[in-house]
Amino acid sequence: MKTKTLLATVVLGVSCLLVGSPAAQAPKKQRTALMVWGGWEGHEPKQCADIFAPWLESQGFKVEISHSLDAYLDLDKLKTLDLIVHIFTMSDIKPEQEKNLEEAVKSGVGLAGWHGGLGDAHRSAVEYQFMVGGQWVAHPGGVIDYDVDITNPGDPITKGLKRRFHMKSEQYFMQVDPIVDVLATTTFSGQHAPWIDGLVMPVVWKKLYGKGRVFYTSLGHVAADFDVPEAREIVQRGLLWAARVMGDDPPKMNIYAPLLKKK
Ligand SMILES: [Zn+2]
């Protein structure tokens, strides 16, 4: 009887050891993000990074923050990341930095950003713009009152948000890639540029570049813009989507294809 009890104790003990050991249960890899901020100070890149870096950490990410585009020089390291957040308005990017960023995203690393930090960075880097899916060209009237309409309320990035919300900020007019999957838009009043009266422009989109998910919103001229709860929520969800924490790859968009059927 004593032997049996001892045997049972030993078996139980060994089982416990096995369950708790790495061989029995591989530890989950911690998600990693790299946030690279810099460029034109008017967009408050550091203040914006200071909003979303701690938030990503609260979601379980290990976040590395860099104030230099040289953070892109180690391609092997970049490829291990889940997410790159690029905040670098109007700066030059060196060919090697740009190429590595693009190669990392092509390999499957997510890319996310907002306003000019992603959508008006590196104006002469056309492959970079091909990756982002759009480029800022104007904000008629500067900081003005405008509305944002959620046009795809079924998407995990926009689900449950107010269908229309207000911004007092720059209303971005962008040159947009026809491949992007648009989730929200804004409509120009024509007050500051009469020829675009009634024009509907994307404000939030997602797309692929190679295997990498790319999320962009034109919201976020300054950090205070993220005091608008919808603007902040859209970015937070966009970061998670780009890092493949949630949602699916975007559908294949081809917005001009229907024109071929017109006679
Ligand atoms: Zn701006």
The range of the structural domain enclosing residue 132 comes to: 32-251
What per-residue confidence (pLDDT) applies to 261?
Answer: 85
Q: Is residue 6 part of a domain?
A: no
Q: Is residue 260 part of a domain?
A: no
Question: How far, in Å, from the CA of 50 to the mean position of ligand 1?
Answer: 18
pLDDT digits (tens, 9 = 90+) for 98-148: 999 999 999 999 999 999 999 999 999 999 999 999 999 999 999 999 999
The type of residue at 233 is E
Question: How far, in Å, from the CA of 112 to the mean position of ligand 1?
Answer: 17
Please state, in angstroms and rounded to a whole number, the distance separating the CA atoms of residues 26 and 28: 6
What per-residue confidence (pLDDT) applies to 14?
Answer: 45
Question: How far, in Å, from the CA of 90 to the mean position of ligand 1?
Answer: 11
pLDDT digits (tens, 9 = 90+) for 158-214: 999 999 999 999 999 999 999 999 999 999 999 999 999 999 999 999 999 999 999
Query: Quick one: three-class SS letters along the chain?
Result: CHHHHHHHHHHHHHHHHHHHCCCCCCCCCCCEEEEEEEECHHHCHHHHHHHHHHHHHHCCCEEEEECCHHHHCCHHHHCCCCEEEEEEECCCCCHHHHHHHHHHHHCCCEEEEEHHHHHCCCCCCHHHHHHHCEEEEECCCCEEEEEEEECCCCCCCCCCCCCEEEEEEECCEEEECCCCEEEEEEECCCCCCHHHCCCEEEEEEEEEECCEEEEEECCCCCHHHHHCHHHHHHHHHHHHHHCCCCCCCCCCCCCCHHHHHCC
Q: Is residue 104 part of a domain?
A: yes
Please state, in angstroms and rounded to a whole number, the distance separating the CA atoms of residues 243 and 35: 13
Looking at the predicted structure, is the pLDDT value of residue 86 above 70?
yes
Q: Which residues contact 222 (CB under 8 A, 6 or more apart)?
A: 42, 43, 44, 47, 169
Instruction: Say if pTM beats, i.e. exceeds, 0.85.
Output: yes
Question: How far, in Å, from the CA of 206 to the mean position of ligand 1?
Answer: 20
Q: Is residue 22 part of a domain?
A: no
CB 208 within 8 A of CB 177: no
What per-residue confidence (pLDDT) applies to 6?
Answer: 46
Going by DSSP bridges, is the β-strand pair 181-187/173-176 parallel, antiparallel, or unpaired? Answer: unpaired
What per-residue confidence (pLDDT) applies to 28?
Answer: 75
Question: How far, in Å, from the CA of 172 to the mean position of ligand 1?
Answer: 8
Of the candidates 109, 134, 126, 116, the one whose C-alpha atom is nearest the C-alpha of residue 213 is 109
What per-residue confidence (pLDDT) applies to 17?
Answer: 45
pLDDT digits (tens, 9 = 90+) for 26-67: 667 899 999 999 999 999 999 999 999 999 999 999 999 999
Q: Is residue 19 part of a domain?
A: no
The type of residue at 167 is M
Looking at the predicted structure, is the pLDDT value of residue 21 above 90?
no
Question: How far, in Å, from the CA of 43 to the mean position of ligand 1?
Answer: 6
Question: How far, in Å, from the CA of 198 to the mean position of ligand 1?
Answer: 22
Q: Is residue 163 part of a domain?
A: yes
Of the candidates 258, 199, 216, the one whose C-alpha atom is nearest the C-alpha of residue 87 is 216
What per-residue confidence (pLDDT) applies to 10?
Answer: 47
pLDDT digits (tens, 9 = 90+) for 216-252: 999 999 999 999 999 999 999 999 999 999 999 999 9
Question: How far, in Å, from the CA of 145 to the mean position of ligand 1?
Answer: 14
Q: Is residue 3 part of a domain?
A: no
Structurally, the chain folds into a number of domains equal to 1
What per-residue confidence (pLDDT) applies to 209?
Answer: 98
Q: Is residue 261 part of a domain?
A: no
Residue 114's CATH number: 3.40.50.880
Question: How far, in Å, from the CA of 23 to the mean position of ligand 1?
Answer: 51
Output the six-digit token pair for 121.
């960075």
